[in-house]
Amino acid sequence: MKAFDLKRLQSLVLLVFATSLAACSSSKNASSTLVRLGGDDAGIVSNRPINKKEFVAVIKLKAPALLSSAKKQDGKTIVDADLAKQVDDEQTKAVADLKEMSSEIRILFRYRMVLNGLAIVAPMSLAEKIKANLHVAYVEKEGSFGRPVTMDVGPLAAAVANNFEKNSVKFIGAEKTHGLKVRQADGSEVAVDGTGMKVGIIDTGIDYTHAMFGGVGTVDAYKAIEPSKADSSFPTGKIAGGIDLAGTTYDSNSGDFKDHVPVPDDNPLDEGGHGTHVAGTVAGLGDGVETYSGVAPGALLYAIKVFGAEGSTGDAVVIAGLEFSADPNRDGDLSDQMDVINMSLGSSYGNPHVLYSEAIRNLVNGGTVVVASAGNSGNLDNIVGAPSIVDEAISVAASIDDGPHNWQFNAVEFVTPTLGSKLTEAVEGSISKPVAEAGPVSGSLVEVGLADQDFSPELVAQLKGQVALIDRGKVTFAEKAKRAFDAGAVGFVVVNNQDGGAFA
């Protein structure tokens, strides 16, 4: 086994991997909102089987989005009427061209406010022809956002046990403002508790039967609702509106391509739990016994559901959520636009999706505050997820007051025959199974250099059943992982190649 310089580990052990366990239709009775979201083609959305020769894409047309030049007038967002006509005309012509190109092209969504564009399903063979269309400025094949999950409290249970005394609402001082009032321009007074504000929750939906939102608060009430059908119990006094833009079976990463196609409906009932959790944090109404109120309990909530019952979501659906936030009833009058939207979703490592980034910028220009999670993958230092990396979005990280992770950090221990035990900071990679789920993974460290080339037979023999120690640089982490895995390593560690933090 090669000797290695333990001093290099004092800077930072960058990534710890466990390689041994990692392998590299719409109803005819659709609501007016759904019809407008899909333009004249809402009825074309179908749940029929789709072959794997198709793709989902978001098309940007050449005219600017309506909110890109929107102005405020007497507190109301106004769009340019001439631009609105230009956008409508261009979309009509583009849709006609697409239908003429192939009857297999289907329109999923139309966007006017945050993006002048279309979301489509089309045959792969037509990709270049679609890009070359006279009205098309840019085509982006759909990217995915991983599903947000509710936090596993685990070792932080003690810190959150007495959350009536110590919680985020108290920590930021929001509770102190709830009893205050401010005088408005017209002389009236309004409480500083979110009253008069509309907040859209772009997430897994909201359980509007929950007691914190004025529902009956029973399991039976929740189970009695069919998620894909409109229900008389929605909207409520607290959950004032919303839409399901995904449908129960939607999953943008499903192995069955037909599930990549959203099937919107009028019922944004939460089938995952995360959106309800977020909504409670934002504006839930506590009973003072088992629950406490959210940050802005006076605000009205809108459930903008962009996830199915399982799996991921994609750009087409998320941008549709942003479009809904700008003009929920799609009538061009923006008096009903969201004041704030919350997006606790994103792609890891800040991977940008060009068109939804543009959509967020335009939505903010139109007067809506966009709040996005800094990440949804746990306590990973230096890693910020998109869309919170968009300059116009407010990026917010999670925290638990008095939690040990406020001062502790993830570490890896190295034991050597001569230098004893050494602890150093570790940042866990996301391209393999989490170490916590991988079970016991141990072995001797074998230094392999940059792992930018296939290993020699001698080095492969040394690596079998051991842990590869790899220098950072030259090739991607994924390439390094594959070489270590192919050589039979049970895990590998990537060491930073310079002093300082893992990411600049």
What does the pLDDT look like over 11-43, one tens digit per residue? 334 444 544 333 333 333 344 454 445 554 443
Distance of CA 266 to the CA centre of its chain: 21
**% of residues, the chain, pLDDT over 90:** 56
Per-residue pLDDT at 191: 92
Is the pLDDT at 497 greater than 50, yes or no? yes
* 313 vs 17: which has the higher pLDDT: 313
What are the sequence ranges of the domains in the chain? 8-22+406-495, 32-145, 192-402
What pLDDT is recorded for position 5?
44
Give me the mean pLDDT over the 185-197 stretch.
Answer: 92
Q: Work out the average pLDDT over 327-333.
A: 94
Q: Is the per-residue pLDDT at 79 higher than 90?
A: yes
Q: Which residues, in sequence order, are bridge partners of residue 343?
A: 202, 372
Q: What digits encode the pLDDT tens for the residues 81-118?
A: 999 999 999 999 999 999 999 999 999 999 999 999 99
| Residue 335: other Cβ atoms inside 10 A | 10
CB within 8 Å of 161: residues ≥ 6 apart? none
Which CATH architecture fits 32-145? 2-Layer Sandwich (3.30)
Counting beta carbons within 10 angstroms of the beta carbon of residue 93, is it exposed (0 to 12), middle (13 to 18) or buried (19 or more)?
middle
Residue 126 — very low, low, confident or very high, per pLDDT cuts 50/70/90? very high
d(CA 131, CA 134) in angstroms, rounded, equals 9
User: Once rounded to an integer, what is the mean pLDDT over residues 61-65?
Assistant: 97
pLDDT for the residue numbered 498: 74
Would residue 110 be called left, alpha or beta, if left means φ above 0 and alpha means ψ between -120 and 50 degrees? beta
419 versus 252: the higher-pLDDT residue is: 252
**Which pair of structure tokens corresponds to residue 145?**
């956002």
The residue whose two tokens read 């609105």 is 84
Amino acid at 10: Q
Predicted pLDDT at 436: 72
CA distances in angstroms from 378 to 172, 274, 396, listed in the order given: 21, 14, 13
Residue 254 and residue 311: Cα distance in Å, rounded?
7
pLDDT score of 7 more than 50: no
Structure confidence at residue 411 (pLDDT): 76
Judged against a pLDDT cut of 50, whether residue 461 lies above it is answered with: yes
Structure tokens at 143: 């990217």
Q: Would the pLDDT of 375 be above 50?
A: yes
Average pLDDT, the chain: 83
Mean pLDDT calculated for residue range 385-406: 76
pLDDT of 8: 41
Instruction: Give the class (CATH, top level) of 8-22+406-495.
Output: alpha beta
pLDDT, one tens digit per residue, over 163-180 is 677 777 888 888 889 889
DSSP 8-state class, residue 265: B
CATH H-level superfamily of 192-402: Peptidase S8/S53 domain (3.40.50.200)
452-471 mean pLDDT: 94
The confidence score (pLDDT) of residue 226 equals 96
